[in-house]
Structure 1
Amino acid sequence: MKTRDFVALATGALTLTALAVPAAHADDRPAGTSAGSNAAAQEPGPLDDDIDRFVVNDGKDLVVGVSPKEFTVTFTAKHHSGIKKGLAVLWRGGADVESAERVLAPRINDDGTVPRFCDNIVLRFSSCVIPIVADPKGEDVPDVDLNNEYAGRWNVAASLTFNNTGVEIDDRFTTHYVKRAAKLTADASPESVRRGADVTVKGVLTRANWDTHRYDGFGGGAGKVKLQFKKAGGAWQTVKTVSADRRGKVKATVKASVDGSYRLAYGGSTTTGTATSPADTIDVR
């Protein structure tokens, strides 16, 4: 059993302190799918009665490379007594947020206090913006220590503390994907070619390794890559789909027809972000 001292996030009953982290799981299955709530007795009721317009990372998958990445959770909260505090964290593994194996959480102030993440708009309403950092090199910030096996769907816990001291917490208010970033290159040759002759496009698909903090070749069965072509003034069209090999190398050959540009595109997966190479232009004579 390995222990990590997570940053304490005290918002009523939501306090993540010294969570036990068991050995990492090797699979990519989501950590729990059933909805749940740990609402305090003073203010029973689901959080979706009090929170709306809840958005994680502007509604996009959170795609992380080998460097820290900051993103936000934003929402509007309402309550008849007013909102005193609001918080959201992403977590993975375990039965609930208190037994989570990994947590992406806001940093607290240097003096140990929790910043005020919500501003009152009018009576009973608050706008909450919570900045969170995801960091594959999170040794100095243990709550954001990403590892490869935790790429996939994460649970999002949310809590509200009301001005009348009531607290509501939902361990699985929603879910969000946290993925490893991918990169893709492309080189089309020959750059000047006769009509009807072969054009070969080669590239390399790589993926962020959160354990070693570098990009490694990525392929095999999961590395389906589209070869796309666009003539001058036209739109991109897929002309062939190929697989990257185990080292991430991609090769596709087509017949030249008109001047234009080629590129390679990877559509991503539940654990890996999308990637599109820069375009490479050929001249058909």
Structure 2
Amino acid sequence: MRKRKRMSTGRAVLAVATAAVLGGLAAPAAQADGWGDTVITKVAVGNVAVGTTQAKTFQVSVTASDDSGIKGADMYLEGPSYGYLQPTGAVRCVESSADATTSTCTGTFTVDPRVDFIDNSPAGTWYVNAWIDANDDDYVNADKAGSFAMQRYSKLTVNASPEPVTKGKTVTVTGVLTRANWETGSYAGYTVQPVKLEFRKKSSDTYTAVKTVKSGSGGALKATVTATQDGWFRWNFAGTSTTPPVKASGDYVDVR
């Protein structure tokens, strides 16, 4: 008789996972097992950016097929360090209108940085582990069926001065790049990161890169340019694996 892989309750598994990390155990390699012709064809989940005070709810969808159709599913998420999440309710499977052998099963997850994270170590690549049951008792149990990034929410400011400015004179553009610190519950400067200074002239809808600088102490940004025409300056950060991209709102400069 086949035995189903048990999915433990959140707090118990969190304690075990934390102990494993502290003991230096390596994460298991990607693997899958099953019975019959049940297969996972798609896993859909976007990157999740988490701030310091608000819980974030998101969905994970797993599409699977079997010649008898899909009966149900379960899933859980694992990340770096002690990262672990279970669905907030039952995973719901909806049969495809075009193909009765295929269903998309969706789980809803909520992550609260004040409860689920004690430091920043869970930031990075997370994996979707899924169990799919078919109507004829076929099944597939897939570890690391899909992946996404759990990221520390980022903020970016901009200020261009003086305003107004005489044509041909120097404009100084400053700003600060920060990201969520889950350990302290506040935002901290993100240093030594390349950030683009961009300009959009008054008659255009498109920003153009002017120069790239690296963030300094406290995430500080500073660049100087020559004033040539009216328009908006902004900073544009491309993001990293642990921090999402962010663009500052444009700051208008009147050139006279």
| TM-score interval, normalised by the smaller of the two chains | 0.7 to 0.9
- Are the equivalent residues in 2 in contact too, given 1:13–1:167 (CA < 8 A)? no
Alignment match, 1:141: none
Runs of at least 5 residues in structure 1 that lack an aligned partner in the other structure: 1-10, 26-30, 94-99, 109-114, 139-143
The CA deviation at 1:225 is: 1.4
Aligned to 1:280: 251
| Alpha-carbon distance between aligned partners in 1 of 2:20 and 2:200, rounded to the nearest angstrom | 48
In 2: Cα distance, 1:15 partner to 1:24 partner: 19
Task: State the partner residue of 1:192.
Answer: 164
2:113 is matched with: 136
Q: Deviations 1:122-151 (Å, cap 9, x if unpaired)?
A: 63332222111122122xxxxx44741111
- Whether the 8 Å contact between 2:117 and 2:183 is mirrored in structure 1 is no
Q: Which residue in 2 is equivalent to 1:148? A: 120
Give the structure 2 partner of residue 62 of structure 1: 48
Deviations 1:218-241 (A, max 9, x none): 21x2x2211110102321011111
Compute the RMSD of aligned alpha carbons: 2.4
Q: TM-score, normalized by length of structure 2?
A: 0.85
Instruction: Give the alignment of 1:104-143 within 5 angstroms.
Output: 104-108=85-89, 115-121=90-96, 123-138=100-115
2:177 pairs with one of 191, 195, 205: 205
Give the superposition deviation at 1:101: 2.8
Secondary structure of 1:175's match? strand
Contact 2:39 2:140 in 1 (8 A): no
- In structure 2, the partner of 1:7 is none
Quickly say closer, same or farther: Cα 1:149–1:116, change in 2 above 3 A. Answer: closer
Match of 2:232 in 1: 261
| Cα pair 1:24 1:149 within 8 Å, conserved | no
Q: Percent identity?
A: 34
Gaps of 5+ in 2: none
Report the secondary structure of 1:161's partner residue: strand
Cα distance, 1:107 vs. partner? 1.5
1:26-64 Cα distance to aligned partner (Å, 9 max, x none)? xxxxx8594312x24xx156xxx622242113xxx2211
For residues 84-99 of structure 1, the aligned pairs below 5 Å read: 84-93=71-80
1:230-245 → structure 2 map (5 Å cutoff): 230-234=200-204, 235-245=206-216
1:24/1:214 CA distance change after superposition, 3 Å = farther
Q: Provide, for residues 205-263 of structure 1, a one-character-per-residue CA deviation record: whole Å limited to 9, x for no partner.
A: 110111222211221x2x22111101023210111111211211111111111111100
Q: Deviation string for 1:173-209 (max 9, x for gaps)? A: 1221111111000010011111111101111111011
CA distance in 1, matches of 2:203, 2:29: 49
The alpha-carbon distance between structure 1 residues 116 and 203, as it changes in their structure 2 partners (threshold 3 A), is closer
Q: Contact 2:158–2:174 (CA<8 Å) still a contact in 1? A: yes
Q: Say if 2:4 is the partner of 1:15.
A: no
Structure 1 residue aligned with 2:40: 51
Does the CA contact (< 8 Å) of 1:225 and 1:241 recur in 2? yes
> CA 1:274–1:71 in 2, change beyond 3 Å: closer, same or farther?
same
Question: 3-state DSSP class of the match of 1:269?
Answer: coil
